[in-house]
Amino acid sequence: MSALPQPDTPVLLSKPRLARLPLPRSWAARIGLGIIVAWIVIAATAPWIAPYPPNAQDMSALAAPGPSWAHWLGVDMLGRDILSRIMWGARTTLVVVPIATASAFTVGIAFGLVSGYFGGWVDRLISGISDIILSFPTLVLYIVLIATIGASMLNVVLAITLAYAPGIGRIARGLTLELRSRGFVAAAEMRGESVLYTLVVEILPNARGTLIADLCIRTGFAVMTVGTLGFLGLGLPPPDPEWGSMVAEAVTMIPVFPHMALFPGLALCSLVVGLNILADGLEDDA
């Protein structure tokens, strides 16, 4: 006797789950990431959340330029709202710094991979050029470059790229020398893969942990560099707000009205601290 056909078993459909971005396991990395994300949100929404336009002047506030209900962080010596200029200054920093850091890492990693993979005269040539650039004090190199080619966003990016790329290249070269003898590299060569494929697909992903941590640290250095250049008058030309130039403009007022330099300086330091904390946390996660 044949078994009676059974009714189809109902299939329970589960609710679709939203994809979640991977978060660092370390709480230090999460705190650092939170600081960075907060500044990114402030920079992106500055045109809507800033109380005043960045260059708007309130001459009546100069009678009492300190923090008030009308100007929460006070005004500068020209009557411009400091909070608004800090928010708009975050846009300047968070545009220049990522572009400059990405450019430096692209150049540095490319030369480091090539130098470590090929060795020989290629390695000696690239290492020699890197040693020459690294022999100059970084700040002196910035000043010479910016004073020679002029102050603009593009020139700041070029200066940071030239100053950072050799150090990044050294790290990439060392990692490539270590990974060059691994089995997966030999397997790719036996399969007849191109050099570009071997470098980009086989070696670079296995070196990403160290490079990502270094990226966070050097991004913090780049924030300080942009602030230093602005303080020295070699950053972006006025009247666009920039944290370093805001501190420089208020130097003479520090004995009387320290808030004019304090708040832009705290903004600059908070972003650098966030990047360094994130880098330390990522190293702990690795």
Question: pLDDT digit string (tens) for 225-283?
Answer: 899 888 888 877 777 789 999 999 999 899 999 999 999 999 999 999 999 998 888 77
Domains in the chain and their CATH numbers?
71-178+211-285 (1.10.3720.10)
* Whether pLDDT at 141 is above 90: no
Answer for the pair 93, 223: CB distance below 8 angstroms, yes or no: yes
pLDDT by residue (tens digit) across 9-66?
Answer: 444 444 444 445 566 678 888 899 999 999 999 999 999 999 999 999 999 999 999 9
Among left, alpha and beta (phi > 0; psi -120 to 50; other), residue 207 is alpha
Asked whether the beta carbons of 87 and 100 are under 8 A apart, the reply is no
**Can you tell me the mean pLDDT for 121-135?**
93
Comparing CA positions, the residue from 226, 219, 227 lying closest to residue 266 is: 227
Q: In this structure, what DSSP letter does residue 181 have?
A: T
Mean pLDDT of 79-85: 96
**Residue in 106, 112, 146 with CA at minimum distance from that of residue 129:** 112
The gap between the terminal CA atoms of the chain, to the nearest Å, is 64
Higher pLDDT, 277 or 145: 277
pLDDT number for residue 6: 53
pLDDT of residue 50: 96
H or E, element range at 83: helix 82-118
Which two tokens mark 173?
Answer: 């070269």
pLDDT tens-place string over residues 173-224: 999 999 998 998 999 989 999 999 999 999 999 998 889 889 999 999 999 9
Q: Three-class SS of residue 135?
A: coil
234 Cβ contact partners less than 8 Å away, ≥ 6 residues apart: 142, 143, 146, 147, 151
The 3-class SS string of 232-281 reads: CCCCCCCCCCCHHHHHHHCHHHCCCCCHHHHHHHHHHHHHHHHHHHHHHH
CA 222, CA 213: separation in Å to the nearest integer? 14
**Alpha-carbon gap, residue 48 to 70, rounded angstroms:** 17
